[in-house]
Structures are given as C-alpha cells and as structure tokens.
Structure 1
Amino acid sequence: MAGVHDVPIRDETIRLGQFLKLANLIDSGADAKEAIADGQVLVNDEVETRRGRQLRSGDVVTFGGQNARVG
C-alpha cells in the first residue's frame, strides 16, 4: 500500500478518534467525531463510524487521502 506511514502507539490498542489526532490526520477530537460520524474514515478499507473502535498494531486508517498504520 503506497503512502502509508507507521504511527507507534504506547499500548496494545488505541481508540480511532485518538489515533486520528496522534497520526496528524485530523486536528481535534471534535473534527474526528464529525469525520467518523460522516463516514469519511476507513479502517482496513472499510467505513468505520464508531469513534471508540479499538485499533491494534497493523490496522490501517485512511482519511482525506492519507493512510496511517498503527505501529
């Protein structure tokens, strides 16, 4: 997958809303909530509408044409 950057996390899992901010894909929690609710965020190429979705190492999040992999 071209254009994927790895973003290390401290724990085994991270919530989707938190990861979007950590990966610099989005500026704020409010923006993350709106983007996720609107179906603009993909996790492993599938639309994800749950902000609390737990991500694990290897999951790929796509937003605004950018990809970030949980490291």
Structure 2
Amino acid sequence: EDATYTQAKAGALAAAEVGYTSHSELLDEPKKERAFAVATPDGPVVVHLGGMDTEEHTAMLPAFELAKKTLKPRR
C-alpha cells in the first residue's frame, strides 16, 4: 500500500524506517503500521509495529520509539 521510507538512527546504528497503511481484513478498514531495520554483524534486525487498528498503533508508538532510541548491538 502507500509507504514512506526514511533514513533513521536506531541507537548509534544507521537504520531504514518505513511507515505505511495496510488494510485490516478483520475490521475492514485501513490501519497504520511502521518498521525499522538495522544491519548487524549477526544479520539484519527488523522491528515492526502493527496493532489491531490505527488507534492501538498510535498508543504503542512511544514503545516503538523507545526501542529505536535505545537499540544497542551485542558485544
């Protein structure tokens, strides 16, 4: 569906982020989703935020942003 890609930071790591709208078959309505991805020595990591609907997605955004801000590679 409609997607917006941006370059971002996840902790100290370079990240790619996408925000998009998908269709909830359960509720038969559009809903927002978001994800970010980083490359690590052990392989790529993707963190996705969905939710039952856009309202739930919006309520969980602070946790998603905290995960992105505090991400640290394993040593």
Larger radius of gyration: 2
TM-score of the two chains, using structure 2 as the length reference: 0.25
**Comparing both structures, which one devotes a greater share of its residues to strand?**
2
Structure with the larger RCO, 1 or 2 (CA within 8 Å, 6+ apart): 1
